[in-house]
A = this chain, B = another copy of it.
């Protein structure tokens, strides 16, 4: 499959879209980010509106909504796209159409996330406090819309190759990791975040058994090092072996 180059920016039909805000997030790195929002509710982020959008009037009434849609750009993804992608949900070897997936490698690189709104800070410009997000630090946001449950909650929708949330993997912390955590002010929330992120098993789809390799995932200001272990029944669990400040 030959990747296609992005359409030329001089295309007469193109729209110039400007970020209205930027994300400050617990996820400094792509590796480890849950593949959908809501899977790691302990994840915290701030959406900081940029001038001239940072007028408190622009979010008046938003506090009455519990959930928001964010439309954003996968700014670290390459601009090339191809008609077929390999979703991790299919083990990384079956191909589906790019528009039948939520892949980041797509035309226009647009992302869409449903996030929970925890608070609105208008002391100095506008910042929205979010949880359960799946957004890389620095992500440019193009739009914010309130969630309308009577129009947008379709629990009975058919969902092809992704019919349910992915299974969760058991996660354990070794003594050294527990010790490091205990010395932090954000021990409880960081522990929850690490547990929820690793429960998604962020390893590449083709490595899902136990193996000797140590992986690292960046969360907030730490590198969380973990490995996969098998129990007597051959089931895999992940163990945090070390938490290192970066």
Question: Could you give, for residues 62-78 of chain A, a 1 whenever the CB lies within 8 Å of some chain B CB and a 0 otherwise?
Answer: 10111101010100000
Please tell me the number of chain A residues within 8 Å of chain B, measured between CB atoms.
Answer: 76
Minimum distance in angstroms from A81 CB to a CB of chain B: 9
Q: Does A102 contact B (CB under 8 A)?
A: yes
Copy tally for this chain in the complex stands at: 2
Minimum distance in angstroms from A192 CB to a CB of chain B: 19
Question: Could you give, for residues 3-18 of chain A, a 1 whenever the CB lies within 8 Å of some chain B CB and a 0 otherwise?
Answer: 0101101010111111
Q: Bound state CA distance, A39 and B11, in angstroms?
A: 35
**In the complex, given contacts A71-B112, A99-B143, A153-B155, what are 17 additional A-B residue pairs having Cβ atoms less than 8 angstroms apart?**
A6-B18, A15-B17, A15-B19, A15-B73, A15-B109, A17-B108, A58-B99, A62-B100, A64-B158, A65-B158, A65-B160, A67-B157, A67-B158, A71-B71, A112-B112, A151-B165, A153-B157
